[in-house]
Amino acid sequence: MHYRLNRPRFAFEAGLEIPLAGITGIFGVSGAGKTTLLRCIAGLERAEEGSLVVAGEIWQDERAGVSRPVHERDIAYVFQEPRLFGHLDVRANLLYGARRVRGAQPVANFDSVVRLLGLRDRLDSRPRELSGGEAQRVAIGRALLRAPRFILMDEPLAALDAARRDEILPFLERLHAESATPVIYVSHNVDEICRLCDHLAVMDGGRVVADGELQEVLTRMDIPQLSGEEAGSVVEGDVAGFDADYELTRLRLAGGELLVPGIHATAGSRLRLRIRANDVSLCRERPRKTTILNILRANIEAIDDAPGASRLVRLRIGGDRLLARITRRSCDELELQPGDEIHAQIKAVAVRSR
C-alpha cells in the first residue's frame, strides 16, 4: 500500500507491506499518522495519491481511477470506543456483524466467538450494563463475525483504565492464538505491541520510519521512538519445567535457560518474554554471588554512540537479540566493544503465553 495526502500543517506519505497473517502493530506517538493510515486503508480518507493491493486484488489505485467503496472493502474496524447499539443486547450486537457478511463468504461460528471472548454470561445484557472491557470485547466479536479479510484496531485499549486493559489483553492474546483473521493493531503503548504483535511498523511525522519482524524492529537502535526508557526486546522459548518451591518457571531458549517468576502454562508450551533494556546489566566475569537469577553468555553486536550519560548495547544470545542500557562510564571502564563476549544479568521479565 502507498498513500500520500497533504493537510494543513500535516503532510502524510506512507508506504508499507503488511502480511495477511497474525497481528501487525502500527506504533508511534500521537499525531504520527497511525489513525490516518487506518482510515486510508478502510476507504474513509481519500488520498491525493493512493494504492492498495490485497492478496493480488487491486482495491485502490487513484491514478487509474479505481477505489473500492467503503462498504465493499472486506474490512472490520474496531475503534477506541466500542460504538455498540444501545437498544440491542449483546447477542443482537454480535449478530449484527454476521448479518453484514455478503455472498458465500463463510461466517465465523457464533459460539466459538462467544467462547473466545468470554461473553457467554453477558449475551442478554445491554451495553449500558457492561464494563468498558466487556463492551470492547463485544465490539471485537462483532468485527470477527463479519468474517472480514482483516480487522483494523485503532488503539482499542486507549480509553480503558489499567484494570480494564489487563482484563481485555488476555482475550486479545487468545484472539491471536485461535483466530486466523489478520489484525492491524494501532497503539502508542510498547507493552501492548510486545504482547500481541508479530510484525511492527513505526510511524513518525506521517511517514513509516521502520517496519519488519517484531524482534528485528524492537532491537534497532536508530529509532528514537523505541530507544528511550521503554527500549527492550521480546524473546520466545519453551517451558522446560517448574520449581514449585520457589514458584519459578524454567524457560528454554536457544542461548540457555531463564527462570521466570510465577507458574506459567504447561511444560512444552511457548512463552513470550518482554525484557526491558533497563533490566539487563553486563559483567566481564560471571558473578559468584548475586540476587539476579538469570545470567547468560552473550556477544556484543553493537553499541550506540548517541550523546548522553547512557549507552544502548545490542546483544546476541543464541538466536535471540537483547538490548541492555548501561552508563557511558561503565561502558568505558569495562572497555566494551562489538564482538566481545560478556555475561548478561537479566532481571525478572514480563511474560506472555503463546
We report the CATH number of the domain holding residue 325 as: 2.40.50.100
Nearest to 273 by CA among 288, 291, 293, 252: 252
In a domain, 245, yes or no: no
Q: What percent of the chain has pLDDT over 90?
A: 67
**Average pLDDT rounded to a whole number, residues 54-73:** 91
Q: Structurally, how many domains does the chain consist of?
A: 2
Statement: residue 236 has pLDDT above 60: yes
In a domain, 248, yes or no: no
Task: Report if residue 205 sits inside a domain.
Answer: yes
pLDDT confidence of residue 104: 43
Residue 255 lies in a domain: no
Q: Distance between CA atoms of 341 and 312, rounded to whole angstroms?
A: 16
> pLDDT value at position 77?
94
Same domain, 83 and 157: yes
Asked if residue 136 lies in contact with residue 142, where contact means CB atoms within 8 angstroms, the answer is no
For residues 302 and 202, membership in a common domain is answered with: no
Residue 336 has pLDDT above 50, yes or no: yes
Of 174, 190, 218, the position where a domain reaches its end is 218
pLDDT, mean over the chain: 90
Do 185 and 320 lie in a common domain?
A: no
- Does the pLDDT value for residue 105 go beyond 80? no
Mark whether 52 and 168 lie in a shared domain: yes
33 & 96 share domain = yes
Instruction: Name the strand (E) or helix (H) holding 4.
Output: strand 2-7
pLDDT tens string 188-224: 999 999 999 999 999 999 999 999 999 999 999 999 9
Instruction: Say if residue 172 is in the same domain as residue 320.
Output: no
Average pLDDT of 268-274? 88
Look at residue 340 and tell me if it is in a domain. yes
Confidence of residue 179 (pLDDT cuts 50, 70, 90): confident
Q: What is the pLDDT of residues 275-322, one digit of tens each?
A: 999 999 999 999 988 999 999 999 999 999 888 899 999 999 999 999
Per-residue pLDDT, 100: 62
**229 or 318, which is more confident?**
318
pLDDT tens-digit map of 28-61: 998 899 999 999 999 998 888 889 999 899 999 9
Q: Cell 445484557 identifies what position?
A: 125
Residues 60 and 171 in one domain: yes
pLDDT value at position 8?
Answer: 80
Q: Are residues 287 and 213 in the same domain?
A: no
Q: Are residues 146 and 10 in the same domain?
A: yes
Q: Within a domain: residue 250? A: no
Amino acid 171: pLDDT:
87
**Per-residue pLDDT at 99 exceeds 90:** no
At residue 350, does pLDDT exceed 80? no
pTM for the structure as a whole: 0.90
Mean pLDDT of 125-139: 94
| Contacts for 204 with CB less than 8 Å, ≥ 6 apart | 28, 29, 32, 224, 225
187 shares its domain with 285: no
Residue 143, helix vs strand vs coil = helix
Containing domain of residue 276, as a range? 232-237+270-353
Q: Are strands 75-78 and 150-154 parallel, antiparallel or unpaired?
A: parallel
User: What confidence category does residue 108 fall into, taking pLDDT thresholds of 50, 70 and 90?
Assistant: low
Question: CA 81: distance to chain centroid?
Answer: 19
Angle between helices 132-144 and 90-99 (to 10 degrees): 30
Q: What is the CATH number of the domain that holds 152?
A: 3.40.50.300
**Residues 204 and 299 both lie in one domain:** no
Confidence band (pLDDT; 50, 70, 90) for 263?
A: confident
SS3 177: helix
Q: Are residues 205 and 275 in the same domain?
A: no
Per-residue pLDDT for 162 more than 90? no
Judge whether residue 267 has pLDDT over 90.
Answer: no
Q: Is residue 298 part of a domain?
A: yes
Is the pLDDT confidence value at 74 over 60?
Answer: yes
> 337 exposed, middle or buried (CB, 10 Å; 0-12, 13-18, 19+)?
exposed
Residue 161 falls inside a structural domain? yes
One-letter amino acid identity for 125? S
Q: Is 80 exceeded by the pLDDT of residue 180?
A: yes
Amino acid of residue 167: E
The predicted structure's pLDDT at residue 41: 94
Residue 354 has pLDDT above 60, yes or no: no
Q: Which of 144-158, 256-270, 319-333 has the highest mean pLDDT?
A: 319-333
pLDDT value, residue 353: 58
Q: What is the DSSP letter of 72?
A: G
